[in-house]
Structure 1
């Protein structure tokens, strides 16, 4: 198998030893490896788009942001592999991908390929989720040097700093033609959020649908109740949270508001979100049932 490995040395503070073990195991299993170290934001996408032959599989080694860059450069018919070494690693949790490098290499070489349908946010792919409102503010304001040093702690501090803003901005979503108002929204392709927290029990990454969670009540107390419910996987049972499946979503508001996708800043409103028409292949453990 010809494999292109894209490594983000900044993700998770750098994991050089883990990378070496991962690549060594790929080669021991018969893989032909091309390794590339990213140089900065969006570099993985640029590099892959410039390749004439990406191989049979492109492996993202880093966090969800690295995977997002890889899928936006991935050629049609080439499988995605993931060795998660980043901060949250939501996709790895969604697909039950192993943390140890040797086991992750075996998934790439000996696992199976499944089809998933990425989302599109203003024409750019996202694999797990995008959002507007509170969670987009958190991502937009996270301290990047602190994130490199402390990981999830940087997100927690940003969450605390943005709580009092919740409810000050209203958004209009058009969900498969149906207008709905809210104070924050997350559009998710999978169940998990922030690592191991279950955001939506209705979402399914192999289904060609997105799950839209709308937070339709204002107030800090309501938001804190939602965050508490998230800890126990009960977000969709909170009064004031609406969860609907959709294929197409538009988002508008009166102000200049940020967007997030897969845990990184993703531009500003307005947003046009849809399910991509062409599924993407992802390498997963042979015994997984999605």
Structure 2
């Protein structure tokens, strides 16, 4: 098996020792490994696009942002693997991927492939989620130096810093042609959010549709109810949260420049055009994986 490993040394504060164990196990399993260390944003995408042959599988070693870059450089038909060493690692949680490097390597070589259909945000693919409003403000407001040193604490601080802003912007979200108003929105391909939290029990990463969560009431108290519900996996039970399946979503906000986040990283500004991709990606998962 020919494997290209893309390693982000900045993800999770660096995990060189884990990388070495991961690669050693791949080679013990008789895989032929090509290793690339990323040097900055978008480097993984550019590197993969420059390769005439990416191999049988490209493995992202890093966080969800690294996986997003690999996804956007991946050639059609090439499988994608993930060894999560980042901060939140939402996709790894969604797919039941192991944390130990030896077990992660065995999944790549001895596991199975499942078809995951990404979506496109303004033409660029994302595999887990994108969001506007409070969700995007938090991602946009994360202090990267704190994230590097303290991981998820940086997101907690950003969440606290943005709470009072919730409700100041109204978004027009058109879901498969149906216009709806919302004060925040998350478009998700899977159930999980922020790591182990369950955002949507209706979502299914193996289904070629996205789940659209619309937060349709203003006010800090409503937002706090939503955040509390997230802790217990009950977000869709909150009065004022709408959950809809979709193939196509557009988002606009009149009179203001508003950020978007995708797979946990800033992803430009509104307007947003979101479409379920035409092409599924084979992703390596454990043999026992069930959606």
Question: Runs ≥4 in structure 1, deviation > 6 angstroms?
Answer: none
Residue 263 (str. 1) matches residue 245 (str. 2): no
- CA offsets per residue over residues 19-60 of structure 1, 9 Å max, x none? 000000000001000000000011000100011000000000
1:159 aligned counterpart, secondary structure: helix
Question: In the TM superposition, what are the counterparts of 1:24-63 in structure 2 within 5 Å?
Answer: 24-63=24-63
Aligned to 2:193: 193
Q: CA deviation at 1:288?
A: 1.1
For 1:289 and 1:67, the matched residues in 2 are separated by: 21
Partner in structure 2 of residue 213 of structure 1: 213
Give the match's secondary structure for 1:267.
strand
- DSSP-derived class of the 1:222 partner: helix
What does residue 182 of structure 1 align with?
182
Structure 1 segments unaligned to the other structure (5+ residues): none
RMSD, aligned CA: 0.4
1:14-93 superposed matches below 5 A: 14-93=14-93
> What is the rounded CA distance, in whole Å, between the counterparts of 1:169 and 1:253 in structure 2?
8
Q: Distance in 2 between matches of 1:200 and 1:239?
A: 15
Aligned partner of 1:286 in structure 2 is 287
- Provide TM-score, normalisation by structure 1: 1.00
- Shift, 1:145, TM fit: 1.0
Measure, in 2, the Cα distance between the counterparts of 1:108 and 1:209: 26
What number of residue pairs does the alignment pair up? 290
* Aligned-partner SS, 1:208: coil
Structure 2: which 5+ runs fail to align? none
Once the two structures are superposed, residues 110-157 of structure 1 have per-residue CA deviations (whole angstroms, 9 ceiling, x without a partner) of 000010100100000000000000010000110011111111000000
Paired with 2:133 and 2:123, the residues of 1 have a C-alpha distance of 20
Q: State the SS of the aligned residue for 1:72.
A: helix
